[in-house]
Chains A and B, each alone.
Chain A
Amino acid sequence: MSEAAIAAEEARPGRLKAFGTFARRNPTIVIGAVLLAFMVTLALLAPLITNPPMQASPADRLKPPDFSNFFDPEKRDRFGTDNLGRDIFARTLHGARVSLMVGLSVAILATVIGLAIGLVAGYYRRVDAVVMRLMDGLMSIPSILLAIALVALTRGGLLLLIIAITIPEVPRVVRLVRAVVLAVRERPFVDAAISVGSRSRKIIIRHVLPMTVAPLIVQATYICASAILIEAGLSFLGAGVPPEIATWGNMIAQSRLFFARAPWLIFFPGAALALVVLAVNLLGDGLRDRLDPRLARRM
């Protein structure tokens, strides 16, 4: 950048300039965050701005998308309708609620549980070997099979689905946290904390925990994206959310027989799924570059 450009930039007012600089240096964070915020807003507003997603209307079956009068609140075929005459637009937006909820819940659950186990495993060497072998075992279970098994054993449901997706994700977090803890333990400021008489619990909370935050946030975004994909996959297979709830996976599964005639049945939920996963991954990549430059180079 030329010096003139730098000088011109310094003249701009503070807040805006700071954001401009941030956006230019971290375009992926900004694009990902804006995209995600847009999807989240739509999902939150879905009950207010759309028709009930389950409302069938046999008269309006398989109507193609019609973008005219897009903002007419009574309109039912913005994105077309399905074989039961249900509003695809409403169903896609409601599907976002489920997807985002699953993604967020799994990310938070897996991170919190993994953090607790990882801190203990990394700091107390005696439990380390046992915990890590246990994690290796958990990691070898494919989440799809686990979910199918759980759904088969019980009756299914959203909570169970979240648990099924979370379990295989936990070991990944544990490994990450443990690696960070082992590295931080070797740093001289931990020795310094020991020598000024701080006890283990205080050292973990004050010195070790903050160091795990940045990589955890990054990891959480990846878990969120993969959970959304797994949920869609499971719903598609019929082992996920009960079919009466509108989710992207369910929508795609239910349109299997009609998609040759009505491709919009698959296109809109599919595109929404791709967009959300892209947004989350962009955000994650951007945060990784920003928070942990060394990790970025390794990956």
Chain B
Amino acid sequence: MSAPVLEVTDLVKHFPVQRGLLRRTVAHVKAVDGVSFTVAPGETLCLVGESGCGKSTVARLITRLVEPTGGSIRLGGTDITKLDDAAMVAHRRRVQMVFQDPYASLNPKLRAGDIVAEPLENYEAMGRAEREEAVAAVLKKVGLRAEMMRRFPFEFSGGQRQRLGIARALALRPDLIVADEPVSALDVSVQAQVLNLLVDLQEEFGLSYLFVSHDLGVVEHIGHRIAVMYLGRIVEIGSKDDIVSEPLHPYTKALISAAPIPDPRARREKLVIEGDVPSPLDPPPGCHFHTRCPFAVARCRSEAPALREVRPGWNVACHLVET
């Protein structure tokens, strides 16, 4: 296997919680609490989990929209957490981001062409005509027409806006695209268009994706590997086929079982777990999941399980899973 595009090791992000007049830090939200994974060239790794599990924070850490508290993010061998702003600019073009909200992530006052041209202005010494040509080419790649570059975002539908967002990310031909819930704001029929587009682009350009989603259906469709997160930690990571057909961690089981299946004949025995996700401000001791886990034993309440390889290329953080 070739060297990974992205290698994340022990990534930690604590957000301070400040109170009072002097803004004293009274606690930390452990949004990301020691996360490690790699993404190979041409591969899609999906980060799955429910709200508050830290999956979006991981995406923002990798694009350095937030600064990590600890750990390393190696992009093509370089640890970008140590880079200063100037050095970071050079590395940014290798990792681009697609955002969740196709409305809020496009500046409403700019024309589509200017939105897609912005990354090119920052990195490519191009004349105006040359840049316009490049923008037209990228728009075509994402299924938009070149003359649409004169329009403003409000003149596009939700799906077309997300295509614009993808065009902006694609313009610099990055190695890795971090997509943070890119289809969750779209209707299903449009969602299918965007997912197909992402698959096509991956095949054409050999892109790697870090795809953040809460929707297991989407993840199963687009992912090669899956990492399941719960309260800031990865609880299970492995190939998509393995995890979906035979999830090992109780949380993954519950997550897969809870996803509604659009087939009334597939009435399965559901593993419905009780309660809500605990607050990341005060996560339960030991295994974070033990408060909702139907199989929890005494050890789960006191000792946090390490992520260990239980099958080749398949890691699970659970005391109860046999190697």
Contacts and interface: CB of A to CB of B under 8 A. Distances in A.
Interface of A: 187-189, 191-199, 202, 206-207, 210-211
B172 A196 contact: yes
Contacts of B107: 189, 193, 206-207
B65 A193 contact: no
A210 B109 contact: yes
Given A192-B165, A195-B63, A196-B168, A187 B104 contact: yes
A196 B122 contact: yes
Nearest to B110: A206
Contacts, number: 56
B172 A194 contact: no
A192 B89 contact: no
27 contacts: A187-B104, A188-B104, A188-B105, A189-B104, A191-B60, A192-B97, A192-B99, A192-B165, A192-B168, A193-B118, A195-B63, A195-B65, A195-B96, A196-B92, A196-B119, A196-B168, A196-B169, A196-B171, A197-B93, A197-B172, A198-B122, A199-B89, A202-B122, A206-B107, A206-B110, A207-B107, A210-B109
From A192, A193, A197, residue with most partner B Cβ within 10 Å: A192
A198 B106 CA distance: 14
B154 interface: no
Interface residues of B, number: 26
Given A194-B65, A195-B63, A211-B109, A188 B99 contact: yes
B101 interface: yes
A193 B99 CA distance: 11
10 nearest A-B residue pairs (beta carbon): A196-B119, A188-B105, A197-B122, A197-B92, A189-B107, A188-B104, A195-B97, A195-B63, A210-B109, A188-B99
From B92, B101, B107, B122, residue with most partner A Cβ within 10 Å: B107
Contacts of A187: 104
A197 B123 contact: yes
A124 to B, nearest CB: 13
A193 B110 CA distance: 12
B92 A188 contact: no
Nearest to A196: B119
From A191, A193, A196, residue with most partner B Cβ within 10 Å: A196
A188 B101 contact: yes
B105 A196 contact: no
A191 to B, nearest CB: 5
A130 to B, nearest CB: 15
A16 B39 CA distance: 61
A268 to B, nearest CB: 45
Contacts of B93: 197
B292 to A, nearest CB: 31
B118 A195 contact: no
Interface in B113-171: 118-119, 122-123, 165, 168-169, 171
B118 A189 contact: no
Interface in B67-126: 89, 92-93, 96-97, 99-101, 104-107, 109-110, 118-119, 122-123
B186 to A, nearest CB: 15
